[in-house]
Structure 1
Amino acid sequence: MEHSSKLTSSEIGVLWNAYMQNTMTECILNHFQKINEDKILEPILKNGLSTISFIINGVRQLLLTENIPIPYGFSEDDYNADAPRIYSDLFTLRYIKYMSAIGTANCAASLELSARVDVRQFFTKGLELLTSLFNAASDLLLQKGAYIRSPVIPIPEKNEYVKEESFLSGVLGRHRPVTSVELSHISKALETNSIGRTFILGFAQVARSSEVKNYMERGKEIAKKHEDVFREILLNDDIPLPSTWDSTIAPSVIPPFSDKLMMFHVNILNATSIANYGASTAGSLRKDLGLTYSRLMSEVLNYADDGTKMMIKNKWLEQPPQAPDRVALRS
């Protein structure tokens, strides 16, 4: 017997998130394509927009099949097609690499939460397309000599087991050098904060609302502070610092995106940072590193909470589908 099950709450949730994030990214990539001057980058931009279009249309079809309202998301009303550039073409390439990495992680997580065959097939295809986009962006960065690699450490001569509890290190005093696993998390944190800081710097420059400008300025300072924390960890272990992900910001003050879209994007950056810090805490055996991640995560959580309140106040926060309020129904 064939059984056509309804979408579960998890499936509706991951589809809703995919629609919101990809309609936002479509606006940004449309702007990047409009101002792009690098002919080598053009195929990757087209690939990115094609991938995003597949995801948006796929989500829309799955929701329509179940008579579930399509989210408002983001549209042409949220970006100005005539706005001049703020970011460089090289930053566009780095942005595509970064966002496609987030997309592959989201698709993998969504696949795990999906039961229906058609939903799993959809996220499997999305994962395939986003992985291809990530690899294409990475290849071009390598070709341009602009791929920022994590620090290199000497190759160990042999494998060893941990012999003493001092390997965990304390909160104070001398610490053992970071392991390659811990170093990978630190490098990821540096990349996330550097890209986020550059993006937010542009947002602060073009935001229409003074409230949004101030929020972006605060985010820029937080990202800079976090970068300094991670650089100091590397310097204390005499590990060479990686090159910066910084990009030139053009002097334009004409906003290519709506304040609503920019606030939503910062919300995604905050969520990504919090998730990364959580994974980094779990992957770091040095106690001082775990405490550092917890402290920085708390700061991002407070910043994200203030941003969410601002979005609610301005009616920019779209509500996801939710379970019935049984208490309200009984009253």
Structure 2
Amino acid sequence: MHTTLYNPFTDFRFDNNSCFLSGQPLQSVDEHIQVFPHWLMRKFDLEDKPFKLLDESMRTYKQLQLPCATEVAERIAELDRQVEQAFDSGYHAVKELESVLLFQWVAKMVYGVVFNEIQAGIRQQMLSGEAMNFSQVLAHKFKNLHLMLQSLIRPMQFDGAIPFSVVVVPVDNPENTFGYRDEINTLVYSLRMNDFGLIVCLQDNGTNNVYHGEYLEKITGKVLHPIQFEELCARYFYSAYLFSRLPEYTVLTTPDMVYVEPMPLASMSMRPMFDQWQVKTFGQVLENFWKPWGYSLFEIIKNPERPMSFLLDANGDFIPANAISLERE
């Protein structure tokens, strides 16, 4: 492996003629991979299910693809095999996976969705004849995500704070559960399947795990009910939205290694690292995550001083999963 980094955002190169990760020219249109791994799509029968892009256009899961050089595809296939084996074994095997490996697996899917979104935007721009209006903040985030994803094919070392947060918890899921969410604006992801749940904040330098430290401490060693995991997800998705920093990284490239180190998240304006938590807004997020159980915003924030929670009781203690009753009074 060599250490030359590729940045597609320099000249906004998102065609199908060069590898999405390495930038090297491709020899044929057959050099591509799926955004979502074959084994995941087969397991949950996702291939022909609809996937809506931000411009409201529809794809199927199997139509989401990435132009990819053969040697890069082989490295990604190796990663997929490791993850598939762990996921099939269950929570304990997933918990043993290195956090960098889980980050890479999730980042490839999230960036894959981003790549397809950008391609759709470019097509729309060409049809309309208007200039492409792309957020510089998002371009900055996606460039850094792409940089770190190159750890799959470049020798890369993360110094200082790890650039991401990873949470793996045991969940008592019904059989054949597949709960997937991502939010590309804030780069947060969740997955619930088999006997576990996974949450990854892809570019927060570990701050969301610190922010939710009390909850993580109280659920340690506990098996969660699905509604409890979705509540934890809602907290992470909302705090990722409240995160007020745009992380910067120093990148040092040597002949043998790429060193990536997060820069301090301090702000000259003294603005808090997370904006103020608004109960009503969180309630709206939670209502969305709790849709399978039908709880309304009114029920969730009926007492705004103590919003509904299935994770912690009025004393702040963990509620055991087997004590949860979802029947309405």
Could you tell me the TM-score, scaled by structure 2's length? 0.28
Q: Which has the higher strand share?
A: 2
Higher alpha-carbon Rg: 1
Q: Which has the higher helix share?
A: 1
More relative contact order, 1 or 2 (CA 8 Å, 6+ apart): 1
